[in-house]
Structure 1
């Protein structure tokens, strides 16, 4: 079989296995994202995997550069990638995406054992340039708004003088709960 035939077969298998799974996302026929862990899990991470033209004979490209992974330290990212590359080496020449994703899910705890969330904040400097400051300290307390500021925010209108779409979503939900949905007929 040629590399393209192997890729097509594996792509078809991945689509059928992960159909309806929100952890798996096919960006292109040769590029995928797979989330390990739940969205609200502090130890969750997002794998970006791309196939070269000669995959599975040559290893896929694995990256943790997605915005979702910004809170993971560089050392932890390197550790995860090195462990995943070990798995790639042992499965080289075969269809390995399912094996790789499942291995990462099963070993999430060990991959993230040294994980300490990174907090990054953007602060303006004296010469009005933005500087990205990264630290593992506690988040600073948000500035509290005054009553006047809150009132002004709720009274904001668009350029036509109308309130923004969805401003009264609580009333819509109350109305729908009283009237029922389309299925209640």
Structure 2
């Protein structure tokens, strides 16, 4: 079997196994994302896998660069990658995606044992800044016209949408 036939068979198997699973996402026929853990779990992480041309004979590219992983420290990411690469080396030459996904799910606690959430700085604005911007937004709201007002406006215009000359002149003679 060629590498492409192996990839097609494994892709078909992954699609059937993880159909409807919100943790698995197929980005392209050779690129996948798999979330380990629940969304609310602080120790959850997302792994990106990309198959090279010669997969499964060569190792897939593994990445933890997803935005979902921003709260994980670089040291923890490196530890996860090294342990995943050990599993890849052990399974080289075979279809390994399902094996890697299940291994990561089973060993989530061990992979995230040294996890310290990264706290990003959040700048808060004063309450006076917030109120001035909210009132400014309210003033920008466009006035809504009723159907009757729209009809009157249309009846005053010509076929080009322009008002005739003198439409707002005051009749002084009356």
Establish whether TM, by shorter chain, passes 0.5. yes
* Aligned residue pair count: 143
Change (3 A) 1:27 1:149: same
For 1:119, the equivalent position in structure 2 comes to: 119
Cα 1:58–1:156 shift into 2, 3 Å: farther
Q: TM-score normalised to the size of structure 2? A: 0.75
> Which structure has more strand as a fraction of its residues?
1
Q: CA RMSD in A?
A: 2.1
Are residue 92 (structure 1) and residue 74 (structure 2) matched? no
Alignment gaps of 5+ in structure 1? 122-138, 163-185
Higher relative contact order (CA 8 A, sep 6+): 2
Deviation at 1:145, TM superposition (A): 2.4
The match for 2:138 is: 155
Cα distance in structure 2, aligned partners of 1:103 and 1:36: 10
2:11 matched to 1:29?
no
> CA–CA distance in 2 between the matches of 1:22 and 1:156?
42
Find the aligned partners of 1:152 and 1:20 in 2 and give their Cα distance.
Answer: 45
1:155 Cα deviation (Å)? 3.4
Structure 2, unpaired ranges of 5+: 145-174
1:128-143 matches, within 5 Å, as: 142-143=124-125
Pairing 1:75–2:57 present: no
